[in-house]
Structure 1
Amino acid sequence: MDPSARIYSRFNLRLYDVVVLVVSNAWAWRCSTTLTLLPFFHKNLGESAHLDVGAGTGYYLAKSVHPLSKTGNVTLLDLNEATLNTATSRLRHAGYKGTIDEVHHNVFQPLPESLRGRFDSVSLFYVLHCLPGRMEDKGPKVLANLADGLRPDGVLYGATILGRGQGVSHNWLGRRLMCLYNKKGMFGNADDTLDELKRALERYFEQVEVKLVGVVALFEARRPKMKCTRKAS
């Protein structure tokens, strides 16, 4: 398993919300979880079927449980069984009564046939910056695979921490965390830029919106172009 996925042991997941969602987001990446990321997640969440890629602790889904009461199915996709189990447990504890499917899957591989064309929304929060490789290489592969999961009127949305480029200025804490996490293989975003992310999205979607908050890029992509996986191969 890649270091970026292996790091999420059951013990580390207990610390994730405090270390990442409270401390790092506020002080290192300068993008508030509660003021920016959670409202962004909530706004784009579909009402029928949702695919959450990189399940983490299930924080965003659990906090969005009210609109999820209308959602018949949530599918969690991750390489790590611990994150899948943790997110499912948290979502149930928050009161979600619909169907939850856990899918153990590598985002660099095409989606299983059963997941294609199925979802109103696909969320990709804090996944791209954890993947190895340059954005110009990893972005198209991952986005093409996930675009295949959307219905024609669906939306793929998410957030990723950028490494450099116009408008990206890391503070003292951010620079040190970036160096540490990239060195350990937990991050692979040292060269990720906003322009490369936007180009990757525009390759597979007709409508793309990207904005920068702190050093975090928030993106929405709609109207997926046809046969995305075949184009990426």
Structure 2
Amino acid sequence: MDPSARVYSSFKLYFYDFVVLVVSNALAWRCSTRAVLLPFFQAHIGERTHLDIGVGTGYYPAHSILKLARTTHVTLFDLNPATLHSAEQRLRTAGYNGVIEKVERSIFLPLPESLQAKFDSISLFYVFHCLPGSFPEKAISVFTVAAAGLAPGGVLYGATILGQGVHHNWFGRQLMAFYNKKGIFGNTKDSAENLELALKECFEDVKIRVVGMAALFEARGPISK
């Protein structure tokens, strides 16, 4: 298992949320979890089915219960079985009563047939900067796989920490260097421009904006290949 996936098993749930979603987002990446990322996540949740790729601690779906109440099926997709289990338990504890499906799989592999053309929304929050490689190539690979899961009219959206084209502060530079050295991050050459190239390669309708060090993106209309 890649270091970026394996690291989650060594974190306590509350500890990870505090370090990454509170401290790092506010002070290093300058993109607030509660003011920016969580509302963005909630605004795009689909009507019936949602796929969350790279579940982390399950923070975003667990804090979106009111929006998920209308959603009858949530699929959690991750390479790490520990995070899948934690995210499922957290979602249940938060009060989600719909179907939860767990898929332990690499996002670089084609989606199983059962997941194709199924989802009204697909989220990829803080996934890309943890993947090896650089934009646009790695994003094109992931978008090609994930796009196959979209139902007609569905939306794919997410956020990632950029390594190029943004001005990291001292704290951000130290975290970037540490995480990339450990293999937890792989984003030193990731830029918003190349992310947009990847989006336009795979989708007809794309939007991207940069908040602090994070790129927030959404895409509709997969391009057939």
- With the length of structure 1 as denominator, give the TM-score of the two structures: 0.95
Post-superposition CA distance 1:14-58 (Å, at most 9, x none): 411000000000000000000000000000011200000001111
Gaps of 5+ in 1: none
- What is the number of residues matched between the two proteins? 225
1:207 equivalenced with 2:201 (yes/no): no
Which residue does 1:68 correspond to in 2?
68
Instruction: State the alpha-carbon separation in 2 of the partners of residues 109 and 161 from structure 1.
Output: 23
**SS at the partner of 1:197?**
helix
How many Å separate the matches in 2 of 1:124 and 1:152? 19
Superposed CA deviations along residues 183-230 of structure 1, whole A, max 9, x for unmatched, are 00000000000010000011110000000000100000011112xxxx
Cα distance in 1 between the residues matched to 2:51 and 2:62: 14
Once the two structures are superposed, residues 150-191 of structure 1 have per-residue CA deviations (whole angstroms, 9 ceiling, x without a partner) of 0120000000000012xx110000000000000000000000
> Which residue pairs with 1:84 in the alignment?
84
Task: Calculate percent identity across the aligned residue pairs.
Answer: 60
Look up the match of 1:132.
132
Q: In structure 1, the residue corresponding to 2:140 is in which secondary structure?
A: helix
Cα drift, residue 11 of structure 1: 3.3
Gaps of 5+ in 2: none
Matched, 1:159 2:159: yes
d(CA) in 2 for partners of 1:27, 1:104: 32
1:185 matched to 2:183: yes
Q: How far apart in 1 are the matches of 2:137 and 2:70?
A: 37
Counterpart of 2:24 in 1: which secondary structure?
Answer: helix
2:2 partner letter? D
1:113-172 CA distances to partner (integer Å, 9 max, x unpaired)? 10000000000000000000111221100010000000120000000000012xx11000
Amino acid at match of 2:28: A
Which has the larger displacement, 13-22 or 116-125? 13-22
Q: Output the TM-score relative to the length of structure 2.
A: 0.98
Q: Considering only aligned residues, what root-mean-square deviation do their CA atoms show, in Å?
A: 0.9
